A and B are shown apart, each in its own frame.
Chain A
Amino acid sequence: MAGSNPQRERILARVRAATADNVPTTAPAASKAPIFAEIPDPLERFLRECAANLTEVICTRDSMESAAACDRVLQSLPPGELFFQDTPVFRSWASHVDSARTVRWSSGGPPSESTQATFTLAHGFVAQTGSILSSSLCGGRGASIVAPCHVVFGTTEQVVADIDAALQIANHDLLSASYVGLISGSSRTADIEKILVQGAHGPLRVVVILQAAS
């Protein structure tokens, strides 16, 4: 690509000439003060932040309760297609799905336009912002954005304190993925008179089923 794009060399040459003086752009202020307060109880903070960003969290004690929580979510959904990340836990939960519904699996392709809800795992949960750490490895890129409802399953062991910790997970485990992201609530907009409206283009509803660590 470099060979077919001579502009690259010209831009880099100009950049090098411009920065050759080594003059810092700003005087190094180097404040070492902590920027964010410490988070003593990440789980409590995660639940609080989710309530603020309108993510529904269902806390469960074990896999039985998680399956029951999934059933309740399924019953609350309008009729239509469902999409699951292809994992053993969802294979087991999907056996309870009403036979009238079409079920798609990530191993069979991406969710379709008409999908009503997607079910995926997560790489982590961020207490600082009530965020879900997701990637293209969680059922694909569209799995967390295409449907009106996104249901995420994870355990309390996956809750990390802050964005820095989440980015460390991304740095160690997820750099092979084409997409990595933090999802902090439902899709929203305030472009009309600064009035918050949920469900702009992505999910109107985000549900986390959070199972206690075994």
Chain B
Amino acid sequence: MSTIPLQEFLRRATEKCADLTHRATIQRNIDSYDVAVAKGKQRFSDWEAARSRCSEIKAEAIAHLDRYLEQFEGKVKERGGHVFWAETAEDARQYIAGLAQSRGVKTIVKSKSMVTEEIHLSGALEKQGAAVWETDLGEYIVQLRNEPPYHIVTPAMHLTRVQIAQTFREKIPSEMNGEEPPQLVAAARRKLRKAFFSAEMGISGANFLVADAGMVAISTNEGNGRLTTTLPRIHVAITGIEKIIPRLSDLATLWPVLATAGTGQPITTYSTLIGGPRQPGETDGPEEFHVVLLDNGRSQVLASREHREMLKCIRCGACLNVCPVYRQIGGHAYGTTYQGPIGSVLTPNLKPSAGFEHLAFASSLCSACGSACPVRINLPHQLLLNRRDAMAKTGQSGSRTMFRLFRWTAMSSVRFRVMGWLSRKGISTAKALGIAGSKLDPMRPWTQYRNGPEVPTQTFREWWRTHGRQ
């Protein structure tokens, strides 16, 4: 395991756990999510059947990924769109940056896209002089604060209205007309409206790529996705190759399930399908439409029979919201684009050499993530697989020796008894010498946050001898 991401993770997690304001903010937001989702699920006559259906749709898409991607590509091209296949983040950045440069693009509006975060697109575009505006309100807030998104669905979940008002006062004072949420939203609307109407390029992600229709499905509540894909003369949609689904009719299940798992809504306000640039006879819409299909490690994940189910993820964020670890440490502690359980299983597989293996251990293995996943990804199992892979990769000899020793000890009652006696004596001596809990204590990584075990006055065997037969 690379130590830098691990140490950073531990530092940030420790800091966030001790930040009571942060924890209260997250708790309040997630409590509100819990209530909405519980209510949303009641709209289904069988939520579990809906999960199974979505899981089957995504599994089918992944099993025939090549066929569906080619079908999608063909349909987009029929309507005059362009499809670019990008093997790496660099390839995708170069294509989009090149496009912007060759078309003289100065202003770009973006609707929320985790893939653009994954490939660090905004920085690359800004480097060549373009002004890039995040238009989802949460994304806009974190952009103003120069922070990465905190959550897949709600990027500014960690901030209070007071903090957001302070950011707006500093960054967009001329738009401010009050500090309550409606006034803050209005300030962002005023500011971003100018960007929408002056942008030459709009960049969006995609929730799904519909193979048989050749359309990109985008869900937003604010309408920023609609404006981003309508007003600029160039629209670029970028997404991972795993976002494909076979049929338009699949959205009849996927749209409500995504909305319910993500926010508790019956359906997202704008459930949008974009199939190409402005068509002959249409009033408006972009002159150019480009779809960038990003691999960036996904085909590698697909090649692993054990891990490929991760590609079913629809990025609803449900596993983050239910994760007891995420609820304490928040999204920034992970140091990854995708946070929480899905980020912990996905990141080390998408980026095997980036040193994020430790994230598999940032879990209590309570299985809440697996139960919440609307496409039935077995996240607890994936976390265990990643733990196994991490151990194999790093070969932590200390842990291995300990477990071998334990196995050898546990296989003989005599050895088990002797080891128990030695452990009791060891703990008592360490306490007597004042080593327990100090830097010399070999158990310090455990005991610095927890109380060490009290040494019992009587062993279980001794207790059994006197009480067992009664």
CB within 8 Å for A15 and B85 given contacts A36-B44, A141-B283, A167-B252: no
Question: From B299, which residue of chain A is reached at the shortest CB distance?
Answer: A14
**Interface residues of A, CB < 8 Å — how many?**
83
Set of chain A residues within 8 Å of B267, measured between Cβ atoms: 129, 131, 163, 182, 184
* Known contacts A136-B283, A162-B252, A194-B32; A187 and B45 CB within 8 A of each other: no
Total inter-chain residue pairs, C-beta < 8 Å: 286
* Interface residue ranges of A1-41 to B (CB < 8 Å): 1, 5, 7-8, 10-12, 14-19, 21-26, 28-37
Q: Mark A130-172, 1 if CB is under 8 A from B, else 0.
A: 0100001101111111100000000000000011100110110
Q: Considering the chains assembled together, what is the distance between the CA atoms of A53 and B87 in angstroms?
A: 41
Q: Which residue of A lies closest to B48 (CB)?
A: A31
B454 interface residue, CB < 8 Å from A?
no
A84 to chain B, nearest CB (A): 12
Contact B308 A201 (CB under 8 A): no
Bound Cα distance A17, B83 (Å): 22
Q: Report the minimal beta-carbon distance from A23 to chain B, rounded to whole angstroms.
A: 5
* B23 on interface, CB distance cutoff 8 Å: no
Bound-complex Cα distance A164 to B247 (A):
11
Q: Which of B163-177 contact A (CB under 8 A)?
A: 164
Do B279 and A177 touch across chains, with their CB atoms under 8 A apart? Answer: yes
On whether the beta carbons of A1 and B69 are closer than 8 Å, the reply is no
Closest partner residue, chain B, to A166 (CB atom): B252
Chain B contacts of A141 at CB under 8 A? 226, 229-230, 278, 282-285
Question: Residues of B within 8 Å of A, CB-based: how many?
Answer: 108
CB distance from B36 to the nearest CB of A (A): 8
Interface residues of A in 105-132 (CB under 8 A from B): 106-107, 109-110, 113, 128-129, 131
In the complex, which residues of chain B have a beta carbon less than 8 angstroms from the beta carbon of A22? 63
Are B271 and A181 within 8 A (Cβ)? yes
Asked if A47 lies at the interface with its beta carbon under 8 angstroms from chain B, I say no
A178–B277 touching, CB < 8 Å: yes
CB pair A191–B156 under 8 Å, yes or no, is: yes
Contacts A1-B77, A35-B46, A164-B249 given; does A197 touch B278 at CB 8 Å: no
CB of B448 closer than 8 Å to a CB of A: no
Q: State how many angstroms separate the Cβ of B253 from the closest Cβ of chain A.
A: 6
A180 at the interface (CB under 8 A from B): yes
Cβ-based interface call for B86 (8 A): yes
- CB A176 to nearest CB in B, in angstroms, measures 7
Task: Give me the 9 closest cross-chain CB pairs, A-B, nearest first.
Answer: A202-B223, A140-B283, A200-B222, A110-B284, A164-B252, A14-B299, A18-B303, A8-B85, A187-B223
